[in-house]
Structure 1
């Protein structure tokens, strides 16, 4: 645990947090407005505030049980798992690792983006070099979060001095891919969510609409400033509030139990099959959460799995006699942020703050902060498991980092082998022929490297490495070097053993993930279209097109592929991404190119360069 001032922990001053709270609550008085902007020439800050919505349709939309939908890739291109995501996969496929978000919130944000002055106002603030804060209370916080993600992607090199998203009592927005992507891009630090201990709103989306629809219809008018029942009849809604609370917490219990069992490495088949019988919420937290105990203490958490467990366990009954108080508090605390931060004896300036870091060492005995947040021994064990999981990811990173030298030595051997081949038969063809001892030694290096990379890929598939891994520049460079050296001879090995006859073409059925992942990393880093960095696998296309040699009808049927391959290879040779040894007269590529019909044959590089290669 670490104690200190809240502003220092969040890199955002208490004054700005209080102003964000004030403006978020002020925006709720204008529910018909899409956006409220506060900025002045005298201020270095621009606040973008989003009011909440209070109909069931504004919380749940579409046909899914939890109202989730695929995020709009054009607006949020980074919200995916780079390696695990396959551009051709569809929802439900194993490789469809793209973010899901609440459909109603997404539709509301897109409506704001299209019909309000958000884009123009943000651009003005950037031009004026103002710090930007997106903020909102309740569902307004969810829209603020989406606006911030959109902003970070649209303006990656903004001139704004700083930018934050600050929400109060916001419901969850998306699935674990959002958290994963934000941490990978180093954006998670910009999201700060304040949650009162018993506020039901941040927990609502842990339950499907079917179990809370009736309760929501009766409760939401209590939150709506336009309703005659706004913030009135608190005790009169106790029964409806109690039903809402119990239904939400029942579904939250199923989810957190399942997640905790995974964190603890449980092999219980009953727990593993729960999700096949019980629909579990896809929503997960992201960013930094600040839990307000209600008695002058704030608890800061950044681990998303720990936040999920805390959302459930901090809102538990201490005894069965508390149900009326909980029913009252789960609604009333949604309006307590003003009192908590802006006035009274426990205003923000007077709060005691603790950050829960090193969760794997969390105290299981009595602790003032944890006791006040209602975290039982069971809850603390779950938080410890979340900490251990995060720690293990760090240990896994140390493990793979420790293999970099072994990988570099193996790559150096392949570079020496390639240098020996490039003026004779060529790198690809020499390995495919396999007639010298040096070819055998190159194969040993290939096997060593593919074994290491397959292990890394398996970790990535299970999210067992830190979320930042696929954005680490050194690993992107190492992955690119690995692709350029190993994939050509992997393809040679594939066709040498005629695996295409059993498995199918390399690019359709045989290409391993150990090459797909690093290629996606590079394309993501350079913001290039998917598939644009395919220089390491062009030999597979050569092999498939070479099979058509002699069949003029088939060759012309593949005219587009034939011309594209020549164009790409020419460009890659000029850019130094592919060696000129592909133009040796003995190479598979050159023999294919020479036998093309004249009308389909393109000049790859200058004639002088070709002649120098063939001397």
Structure 2
């Protein structure tokens, strides 16, 4: 539908009414299309007005004032929303630039997690700004639910990019402080909601950007918790190597958890859904592999073992 100039449309309607009903019907409009429109609406519902001494009709004046105030509030709200959105775009662009500068050696996640870097001070600022902006999506959970995501598709896609870009940084901060499982002890609610809504939207068949077969590896790993899974695998592997027990006796044995982790990684690789930077020499994933390949009880004929030992990752793009 083409954009309509509603001011012009109302002006044309007013002119038509003047011709058909006479100028006296629009006394006091003073060429103001908003005021003229209010007068026409009142006429249409049969509200009688007086013209004594050319005094302004109080009802019309009050309605005009209210409409102008509502319009101003609406314009201000749109302006503030656009301003915040532009700020978020700038913050995301800064993180993307930082990610590119970390494309050698260890990669985005490990650069942030590693030794102190003055660049990280600025990255934390951008990360905090983005998180404050996106935490408000929690409010959407209280709204009446429909099939798929309660967020508009454009906002959901932007939120998904944010989650995949920023959550790895939260994971890095989490594992710098402790060895507890991030998903169960450290993950913020708004990440869970954004992931849940994306999955629901995909089931509803309404997210074309995540559908189809890729012919090139993604730059942002599809599972924003991938780094947490790698960190857990590294903890289990080091404990096995040192002959230590991990967790409660009734828990699943570490070697079985690691077998499942291998399958999980290969699933992402098969779908080109993991960033190639996980195979950088100093990445946490490659650190995990160096320890894991020395474990006597591991499955040496697994698909991931063949992929890593034959250095197939060198051709993964």
TM interval, shorter chain, is: 0.5 to 0.7
2: CA distance between counterparts of 1:603 and 1:514? 35
Aligned to 1:546: 234
**SS state of the match for residue 87, structure 2?**
helix
1:489 and 2:169 are equivalent in the alignment: yes
Distance 1:508 1:517, change over 3 A: same
Aligned to 2:313: 610
Distance 1:418 1:573, change over 3 A: farther
Higher relative contact order (CA 8 A, sep 6+): 2
Q: Deviations over 1:63-114 (max 9, x none)?
A: xxxxxxxxxxxxxxxxxxxxxxxxxxxxxxxxxxxxxxxxxxxxxxxxxxxx
Name the Cα RMSD after superposition: 3.9
Q: How much does 1:471 deviate?
A: 4.1
1: CA distance between counterparts of 2:268 and 2:147? 32
1: CA distance between counterparts of 2:273 and 2:82? 26
Q: How much does 1:468 deviate?
A: 9.2
1:422 and 2:103 are equivalent in the alignment: yes
Aligned to 2:150: 470
**SS state of the match for residue 126, structure 2?**
helix
Aligned length: 217
2: CA distance between counterparts of 1:592 and 1:608? 15
Distance 1:585 1:600, change over 3 A: farther
Q: Deviations over 1:151-190 (max 9, x none)?
A: xxxxxxxxxxxxxxxxxxxxxxxxxxxxxxxxxxxxxxxx
Residues 396 and 464 of structure 1 are in contact (CA less than 8 Å); yes or no, is this contact kept in structure 2? no
Task: Give the number of the structure whose residues are more often helix, by fraction.
Answer: 2
Aligned to 1:187: none
2: CA distance between counterparts of 1:603 and 1:451? 41
**SS state of the match for residue 236, structure 2?**
coil
Aligned to 1:431: 112
Q: Deviations over 1:321-344 (max 9, x none)?
A: xxxxxxxxxxxxxxxxxxxxxxxx
Distance 1:483 1:397, change over 3 A: farther
1:515-526 map, 5 Å: 515-526=191-202
1: CA distance between counterparts of 2:137 and 2:114? 29
Q: How much does 1:406 deviate?
A: 1.8
Task: Give the number of the structure whose residues are more often strand, by fraction.
Answer: 1
Show structure 2 runs of 5+ residues with no match.
Answer: 1-45, 47-72, 205-220, 247-251
Aligned to 2:127: 446
Aligned to 2:94: 413
Q: Deviations over 1:370-395 (max 9, x none)?
A: xxxxxxxxxxxxxxxxxxxxxx9xx9
Aligned to 2:84: 403
Q: How much does 1:576 deviate?
A: 3.9
Distance 1:538 1:447, change over 3 A: same
**SS state of the match for residue 536, structure 1?**
coil
**SS state of the match for residue 185, structure 2?**
helix
Q: How much does 1:458 deviate?
A: 4.0
Q: How much does 1:549 deviate?
A: 2.9
Residues 148 and 202 of structure 2 are in contact (CA less than 8 Å); yes or no, is this contact kept in structure 1? no
Q: How much does 1:574 deviate?
A: 4.5
Q: Deviations over 1:408-452 (max 9, x none)?
A: 221121112112212221111110014322222222211111111
Q: Deviations over 1:566-601 (max 9, x none)?
A: 222233245343211112231112111222226346
Show structure 1 runs of 5+ residues with no match.
Answer: 1-366, 368-391
**SS state of the match for residue 169, structure 2?**
helix
Aligned to 1:566: 262
Distance 1:603 1:402, change over 3 A: farther
Q: How much does 1:507 deviate?
A: 0.8
Residues 149 and 201 of structure 2 are in contact (CA less than 8 Å); yes or no, is this contact kept in structure 1? no
Aligned to 1:589: 285
1:205-354 map, 5 Å: none
Q: How much does 1:511 deviate?
A: 0.4
Q: Normalised by the size of structure 2, how large is the TM-score?
A: 0.57
